[in-house]
Amino acid sequence: MSYLARGPMHGDRQQSESPAALLEIRGLRVFYGGINAVKGIDLAVAAGERVCLIGANGAGKTSTLKAIAGLLPVERSAVHFQGEAVGGLRAHELVQRGLALVPEGRGVFPQLSVEENLAMGAYIRTDRDAIRTNLHRVFELFPRLKERRKQTGGTLSGGEQQMLVIGRALMSKPRLLLLDEPSMGLAPLVVARIFEIIAEIASQGVTLPVVEQNERLALDASDTGYVMESGLIALHDSAAALLGNDAVRKAYLGE
């Protein structure tokens, strides 16, 4: 059963009218065996736009990000990045083009040091001087990581590990960085700090679409929001409009 009344899926907004979109999804479908997890969705993200994707567990949010990032098979024409059809390319090929994913569940290399984990994010690069500059930038964003640069990743707290995987992704010099559940399992004060850092990264020119189960936090931090239900986009509007939508407030904001 849908949480939201089905009306115009995007209000009066049409993604296809955004030729300047940095990322554009056209009829994206994702299958797990015979299960259709994502059922032909469209969405667009302009350079510099703060976008969130919200919805209940199983709505298809993580599957969407994985498909965009090359971790699930999709049609070539389903994903366009910087005007190029890139659907179905492998993850490392997309990283080379400037598109990276910070996955749900973090996934640090537990036996490697913080510094070694960060170096893994630059594995596709050969510009050593620029890599050192990027490492310095990551340490400016995350002073805690600099303090623990020789400590193994597996011994960090949950919040420190989240900082580490974001920093590791930044070492690839992404133009578009997909974030999947960055607040998962973290204390409220740590979550607030993570989102402050996300805003700072965005201010430096990286576009960061976010999937987040803390819907209020996600909408507060975004310009635009998409609501997913059962593999479809149920609503698309400005974040402010979604925060003021009675159905969204009742279904997702606990009001």
Q: Which residue has the tokens 């083009």?
A: 97
| Whether the Cβ atoms of residue 97 and residue 81 lie closer than 8 Å to each other | yes
pLDDT(194) > 60:
yes
Q: Backbone phi, then psi, for 48, in 5-degree steps?
A: 85, -10
The full DSSP string for 151-208 is: SBGGGS-HHHHHHHHHHHHHTT--SEEEEE-TTTT--HHHHHHHHHHHHHHHHTT-B-
pLDDT at 15 over 50: no
pLDDT tens digits for range 64-91: 999 999 999 999 999 999 999 999 899 9
Domains of the chain (ranges, CATH numbers): 15-252 (3.40.50.300)
- Taking only the tens place, the pLDDT of each residue in 26-46 is 999 999 888 999 999 999 999
Q: What percent of the chain has pLDDT over 70?
A: 93
> Per-residue confidence at 3, pLDDT binned at 50, 70, 90?
low
Q: What is the three-class DSSP state of 40?
A: strand
In this predicted structure, the answer to whether residue 212 has a pLDDT above a threshold of 60 is yes
The average pLDDT across 174-183 equals: 96
Low-confidence winner among 172-176, 185-189, 251-255 (lowest mean pLDDT): 251-255
Task: Tell whether the model's pLDDT for residue 254 goes beyond 60.
Answer: yes
Under a CB-based contact definition with an 8 Å cutoff, are residues 223 and 50 in contact?
yes
